[in-house]
Structure 1
Amino acid sequence: MITTKIPESEAELIARAQALAGLTLGEIARQEKIKIPKNLNKEKGWIGLLLEQVLGASAGSKPIPDFPHLGVELKTIPIDRHGKPLETTFVCVAPLTGLVGATWQNSHIKNKLSKVLWVPVISERIIPVADRIVGTPFLWSPSVEEEQLLAQDWQELTDMIVLGEVENIHGKHGQILQLRPKAANSQAKTKAFNKNGKPFMTLPRGFYLKTAFTQQLINRFLRIN
């Protein structure tokens, strides 16, 4: 029986995640008595929410790691049966104002990525949601080199926001991190500033990890070549 008690240690969390490997989302959801959607068109975050509940995450919607007492963030990553990531990985919402004095060291994104429990899920579109299979989880913290790349990307993207260039940021910016619109619909708007310092309304943005980077992590930890 899967428990939803908050894990008391990192080892307990990892063991609980490893116990899910090989199970389908349907099997997990039924044990938790959670309704399974037919598709994820309107419930894109359902897999992550399911695993948060099963693993005992306690942060909710607060801007802190999912397991705050352990300093661990949970990230599900949809992959195909060959271990290829199917999409970029959302990390957190990017602030578009109030960035004076912001540094990588005090940034929300650094806090989120300091220690991540990755849970791959075989999620090809042709596979019904209930039949998608949880893969082998792994715990990752950025190496010195990885953190340097993340910090450089964050600085580049943040500088562009501060200089009023948010509308000119595209996927080519950043080596492993990218900034792109993150909104439930096109009506959701937030305040930003243009290069003349004038406020205007734009779509909220989010920080995402590029698939080339998450592919490297999967290759390293799951030994997929």
Structure 2
Amino acid sequence: MKKLVIFDLDDTIYAEQQYNLACYRAAADKFHEDFKVDIYPYIFQEFSQGNYRDLFSLAIQEVGVECSEDYIRNELVSTYRSYQPELTPYDGFERHISNLRDKYALAIITDGPLDIQKAKIKALGISKYFDVILCSSELGSDVRKPSAQPYEYVLNKLGMSHKDSVYIGDNKKKDFVYPNSSGMHSIHILNKVENDNLIYGRQEGESAQHYCESYEELVVLLESIFE
């Protein structure tokens, strides 16, 4: 019987900054259309330095434009959330996912707004590789990792035991808490070769049982875990 490999989505299968920066660009274009000022260079600079909070307000303040909170919320944030950019998985994912599909049962558990996460998965074109894709909010608006619910849903759906399953993620605050406590395996993938801005890289929390730096290392690590 195949073992089960469950992936996180953002910064695990693709670089989330792809999505963030494309959506910021779309919102900045809207602002430029309305005020004839480009706020994107400031947003890009701050984001690249690991500053992710209140970027619209800070950028607008930086360029000296008077703008209401209603405009930011109803126009810029709305544009950001509704924009659907083209996305590309990590090269390592694309090189190895077909072989992983042949060897293991595969699933995704991801947090976040259902419509946004579903749109990301569609843009990445990866649904065909996975037996189950679960956005945790499908189980309830307040359900998210590290809750046991999404993990247990996937394991039950595929009839898999904890010891024969592994979760691969990037966020120490929530990804590895339940796998570590339930008898699952856990892997923290730090794909810095392909992503120089790991958004959750500074999170404190519970460490995974294993680390790897690339998908090439991940393939070998999975074989050692399940040998």
Q: Per residue, is there more helix in 1 or in 2?
A: 2
Shorter-chain TM-score: which interval?
under 0.3
Larger Rg: 2
TM-score by length of 1: 0.23
Tell me which protein shows more strand as a share of its residues: 1
Q: TM-score, normalised by structure 2?
A: 0.23
